[in-house]
Amino acid sequence: MAEVKASVICGVLAAFLSSAVLAFVEDLDETFKDTRENDVWLVDFYAPWCGYCKKLEPVWYDVGAELKSSGSPVRVGKMDATAYSGMASEFGVRGYPTIKLLKGDLAYSYKGPRTKDDIVEFANRVAGPAVRALPSKQMFEHMLKRHDVLFVYVGAESPLKEKYNDAASELIVYTYFFSASEEALPESVSLSELPAVVVIKDGSHFTYDEYEDGSLSSWVNKERFQGYLQIDGFTLYELGETGKLVAIAVINEKDPTEESGRLKTLMQRVAKEYREQFNRDFQFGHMDGNDYINGLIMGEVAVPSVIILNTSNEQYFLPSEPVESVEQLVQFISGVLNGSAQAYGGDGFIQRVKRVAFDARSTIMSVFRSSPLLGCFLFGLPLGVISLMCYGICTAESDDGSDERREGLTDEEEDEEEEEEEEEQRQAAELEGPNDDDEEEDVGEKDPEVKKTD
C-alpha cells in the first residue's frame, strides 16, 4: 500500500513539474503581433511535422525555465508557422525551426547551436543594451576573464562612437560590445590616441584603423574570432560570413601522430607570427578528422594534411607538395592570396551537377548502411517496376502495323502488293503438292460431257 501511495505521489509531482515547465513557454497565435511590442520575446517558429522542431522542443522548455528562474525580462514562446503562415512570413521565417528574438521593431535571428546554454546566452546578450559600460578596472578585468574576444570603445562622445553603436546594434547577435573610459583600462592595454575601438584577444590587443580597415562593421565581423580555432562544421559555416578564406590543418586528435602535431604547430605559428600579413584574408585552425571536409569537396583529403577553403564560392586549394616548414606553409598561403595556386571545385554548373549526384549517392549509401532492407524496398521496388514497364514497351507487337503500312500506299501499289501475295500463295501451294481433299473434289466434280456419257 505504501508503494502505491509513493508511486501516486511521484506521478502527481512529475505532472506538476511538467506543467510548471510548460507554463514557461507560451503558445502564440494571431493576437501576438498586436501584444508583443511592450516586451522582449524569444520565439520558436516551428512546423508540427518537422523532425528538427520535435528535437528542439524539450530544449526549448528548458530555455524557458532557465530564463524565468534567472529573472530575465525575456519571454519565451512558440508559434506554429504553418497555422499562422502570414505572421511567420512577416517575421522573415523561411525554414523550420527558426528562432528569433523580437525587441521593439527589431528581429534578431539565432544561428548558433541549438543547446540550452547557447540559446540562453544569445537571449541575454541581445535583450540587453547593445553597448555595455565597464566603469572600473575590476569590471574590465572580470570581463577579460569571461570573454576570449572583447570589443571596447574607449573615449568620449564622437562620430566614431556613433559608428560603434551602429555596428553593435547590427552584430550583437554574434558578440558583446563594451565601452570604457581611459582610466578603466588595464595596464596591459595602452592606446596612442583616443577615441579608439580596440579588440582584445590572443593575449594582445589590436586597434581599428578606419583608413586601413575600412568599414567598422566589416572589421568587427572579421575580428570576432580568435586568430586560431578548433574548427567544426558549424564554426566553418560561421566563418563563411566573415568573407575570409579558412586555412585548416586536418588532423586526427583521437589518434595523434607526430606529423599531426607538427602541422598543427606550424599553423599556429603562422597565425600568430604572420598576423599582419594574412589576418585580413585568412582564418587559421585545425579540424579533427576528414569526414566533413571530404563531403564538402566531394573527394578525399589525407590525414594529416593542409587545405584552404573559400566558403564563398566552394573552391579549395591543396599544396603541391607536403608542407614541412613554416616557410613552405607561408609560400602556399601567399600563392593562394596572389592567385598563383591551383584552385579546385567551385560553384559552376558542372560542379552543381556533381553536387546533386554526390548528395544523392551519399543519401542512398547512408540508407543502405543504416537499413539494407529498407534501402532495397525504397529503391529496388521502383526500379523493378520501371524495368518491367520498359520491357513491355519494347517487346509489344503492334496489331495495326500492317494496316498503317497499307494506308501509306497508292491504289496501284496496293494492287501490285495483292498480286504479289497471291503469287506467293500459289507457289506455296504448288510446292506442297495436291492433297486428298483436292482429289476427292476432282472426282466429285466431273466434266459435263462425261456425265452425259454415263
Cell of 229: 580555432
Instruction: Compute the residue count for the chain.
Output: 454
Catalytic residue, chosen from 10, 53, 376, 390, is 53
> pLDDT at position 100, please?
92
Asked if 236 and 246 count as a contact pair (C-beta separation under 8 A), the reply is: yes
Q: In this model, does residue 312 exceed pLDDT 60?
A: yes
Catalytic residue, chosen from 10, 50, 376, 390, is 50
More confident residue, 122 or 14: 122
Mean pLDDT, residues 402-430 taken together: 62
Task: Report d(CA 411, CA 408) in Å as an integer.
Answer: 10
pLDDT in tens, 351-400: 778 777 776 776 666 666 666 766 666 666 677 778 778 877 887 654 44
Q: In this model, does residue 330 exceed pLDDT 90?
A: yes
Residue holding cell 553593435?
Answer: 168
Please choose, from the candidates 282, 159, 169, 180, the residue with its C-alpha nearest in 3D space to the C-alpha of residue 217: 169
Domains of the chain: 21-127 (3.40.30.10), 129-224 (3.40.30.10), 227-347 (3.40.30.10)
**Catalytic-residue membership of 50:** yes
Cell of 122: 544569445
More confident residue, 83 or 402: 83
Residue percentage of the chain with pLDDT more than 70: 78
More confident residue, 5 or 421: 421
> pLDDT at position 389, please?
81
Cell of 382: 521502383
Candidate from 207-216, 235-244, 426-435 with smallest mean pLDDT: 426-435
> pLDDT at position 350, please?
81
pLDDT in tens, 250-300: 999 888 888 999 999 999 999 999 999 999 999 999 999 988 898 888 888
More confident residue, 449 or 81: 81
> pLDDT at position 17, please?
39
| Four-residue CA torsion sign, 229, 234, 236, 242 | negative
Which pTM does this prediction carry?
0.71
> pLDDT at position 255, please?
81
**Catalytic-residue membership of 390:** no
